[in-house]
Structure 1
Amino acid sequence: MKYTTIAGCAAASLALCVTSVGAEELRLSHQFSPGDLRHRIAEIVAEEVAAADVDLTIKIFPSGSLFKATEQYLPLSRGQLDMTVLPLSYAGGQRPEYNLTLMPGLVKNHDHAARLNDSPFMDEIETILNEDDVMTLVPGYLAGGFASMGECITSPEDVKGMTVRAAGKGFEEMLQAAGASIASMPSSETYNAMQQNVLNALNTSSSSFVSFRLQELAKCYTPAADVALWFMYQPMLITKSTFDALTPEQQAALMAGAAKAEAYYLEEAKKEDAQSVEVFRAAGVEIAEMTQADFDAWKALAQESSYKQFVAEVPDGQRLLDLAFSVE
């Protein structure tokens, strides 16, 4: 499928229509560094598509070099960008239902996250994505924890008076209920914010803690372990009209690459938590542990803050919340 005229380009994403000669090129943008797991997911799909030899290439723009970290979703939905790997709650301002993909205590562990990916709850999220001309290629959840520039954080009492970055609306509401002040920013900006003492502490994924070198600034790290409060949905997405405009062979190559990347994503996500502990410990950072009692205290706080707010603000919010919690 070659587009030889501007009129031909109008049938699909302008980002996809690169040239009248040679392979088509899809542009994939994300905020993460080239050493990050999410960049590797993008590479796997790009490599598999290239190996399939179907006149399709994927050009990856890492580190927010094409669009800023929190500005990926709108260009994707408008056909100005073909693909992204995105923490979906970043788009919660456009679609408040996405805030449920980063909600305290909703995901128990990585295997539970995999079951969520294949559930009626995620089917509902996919329907909303499709309404914005977006579809999922690679689903994936990452776990995370707390890092602090001062005292360790395990229970709600520990964040009182701190300025904390939390990543999503549900966590922000819970932390505010615990007495914290909130500083909102993408994870790619947290290093500078800690360095400038804008942040006292933060939540982010195990992958981001390492890829953004936060062990250089933290004094205490509370990782995801047997008890994990923080899980965030971070899928690879594609503009649906772009996908639909591909040939059947190109679509098949893309989906085969996505299947390989999804399996790798789950396997590596499980490893990232333990690997992050090793990195922080080697940097001399104190390692704290969240107990089940700590987790229960956070979840009780979330039920009275973030869960309640979600149900109050989102049409059909209670049904979505119930669907999410129905996944065993």
Structure 2
Amino acid sequence: MTVRRNQRGIVVTAVVSLPVLLLAACGGDAGGASDGDVEITLAHSYTEDQPQHRCGAQVIADEVAAADVGMTVEVFPASQLGEDADRISSVVSGDIDMDIQGASALGAIYEPVSVLDAAYAFDDADHLARYFEGEAADKLIDDFAAETGVSTLGAWSAGMRQFTANEPIREPEDLEGIRMRFPDSPQFLMNAKALGADATEVAYEELFLALQQGTVDGQENPIVNIDAISLDEVQDYISLSSHQANSNLVIIGEVWDELSTEQQDALQAAVDKAVEEVPGCVEEDEAATLAEWKESGALEVVDDVDVEAFRTQVDSYLRDNFDQEQLAIYEGIREAAE
């Protein structure tokens, strides 16, 4: 097993497979072997207009092309290669090479990583970045790779998640009686209980219709996602609770071991570039979208949410309900806060 640390301190663990060992024995590059151009598939669920694609996936593809190391990255946005759960399985099986996934979705193959999506675990995008530069993140990502064979090349926050509904949400009591959509994952459903919400599980791809038809009354997502699927058309208020950093992890499957050292270095550098750019792009998009909503009245922006009341309630709930391993990860995250 070889362990590499990228520019942001994230440990990338590569489990060397038998074919790679055989190639090395025959004189191949010690970091793997590849003859001719290698095409890497990179999938994600976001639209091409969102910063996760523009400043994330597309930057990775462009940087790899510019490196000219006999490798290209072909990006498949908007769940073209399947929804989150299907794509994770495809990365593990090798049918998809790379993916951009939230931590909770990755919990389907390694449950402890879900804690990265705990409500109020991270204060903001900078806090998430600091965590991934530290030893606590190193251990989590290394354990994830050892358990699944899937390596993590980088991570970023795609914005803080906010509530929308047809009435304002300023304090935990305001969630009572509202059927609030949450993603179908154990950590998100735990977040719902911690926040005091009545969770209804609806797939992201079905969310607009569910709100339009009244299957659910509200939902929570980062601003860039709310805008991308036009939820301002079916909701009246956005309440700036900032209750969760929307994590994105850039993962890669067994193809990593098949790349030459030069190709691995180029791909890692490309991901590092995207990790640096995405948070700034998200911040710019959020500011522009909020300004547009305020001007047009499409969504009334509630900016006097009692965040401390939510935070205190959530922290107490999580500490009472996390198991020992989850609690250790959560405390490691909190220690990275300024």
Query: Which of the five TM-score ranges fits, normalised by the shorter chain?
Result: 0.7 to 0.9
Percent of pairs with identical residues: 22
Aligned residues: 304
Q: Which residue of 2 aligns with 1:184?
A: 201
| RMSD between superposed Cα atoms in Å | 2.4
Q: Which residue of 2 aligns with 1:120?
A: 135
The match for 2:325 among 296, 316, 321 is: 316
1:160–1:178 contact (8 Å) kept in structure 2: no
Q: Which residue of 2 aligns with 1:229?
A: 243
Distance 1:177 1:90, change over 3 A: same
Q: Which residue of 2 aligns with 1:212?
A: 229
Q: Which residue of 1 aligns with 2:78?
A: 63
In 1, distance between residues paired with 2:292 and 2:137? 33
User: Cα offset for 1:144?
Assistant: 2.7
Please tell me whether residue 250 in structure 1 is matched to residue 263 in structure 2: yes
AA partner of residue 210 (structure 2): A
The match for 2:314 among 292, 299, 302 is: 302
Secondary structure of the corresponding residue to residue 183 of structure 1: strand
1:10-34 Cα shifts (integer Å, max 9, x gaps): 948xxxxxxx995221111111111
Distance 1:169 1:154, change over 3 A: farther
Distance 1:196 1:260, change over 3 A: same
Secondary structure of the corresponding residue to residue 330 of structure 2: helix
Secondary structure of the corresponding residue to residue 182 of structure 1: strand
The match for 2:282 among 269, 293, 311 is: 269
1:229-280 Cα shifts (integer Å, max 9, x gaps): 22121121111x3112101221122122112111111322333332331243
Please tell me whether residue 162 in structure 1 is matched to residue 178 in structure 2: yes
48-57 vs 264-273, greater mean Cα deviation: 264-273
Distance 1:185 1:70, change over 3 A: farther
2:165–2:219 contact (8 Å) kept in structure 1: no
1:151-203 Cα shifts (integer Å, max 9, x gaps): 11121111111111234544433433555321224433322221221221111
Please tell me whether residue 143 in structure 1 is matched to residue 137 in structure 2: no
Please tell me whether residue 286 in structure 1 is matched to residue 303 in structure 2: no
TM-score w.r.t. length of structure 1: 0.84
In 1, distance between residues paired with 2:156 and 2:322? 22
Distance 1:304 1:47, change over 3 A: same
In 1, distance between residues paired with 2:125 and 2:195? 27
1:206–1:223 contact (8 Å) kept in structure 2: no
Structure 1 or 2: larger strand share? 2
In 1, distance between residues paired with 2:221 and 2:186? 13
Q: Which residue of 2 aligns with 1:5?
A: none
In 2, distance between residues paired with 1:101 and 1:185? 21
In 2, distance between residues paired with 1:110 and 1:173? 22
Q: Which residue of 2 aligns with 1:201?
A: 218
In 2, distance between residues paired with 1:70 and 1:173? 19
Give unpaired runs (5+ residues) of structure 2: 1-16, 21-33
In 2, distance between residues paired with 1:302 and 1:10? 46
Moved over 4 A (4+): none
Please tell me whether residue 33 in structure 1 is matched to residue 47 in structure 2: yes
37-46 vs 164-173, greater mean Cα deviation: 164-173
2:81–2:87 contact (8 Å) kept in structure 1: no
User: Cα offset for 1:85?
Assistant: 0.8
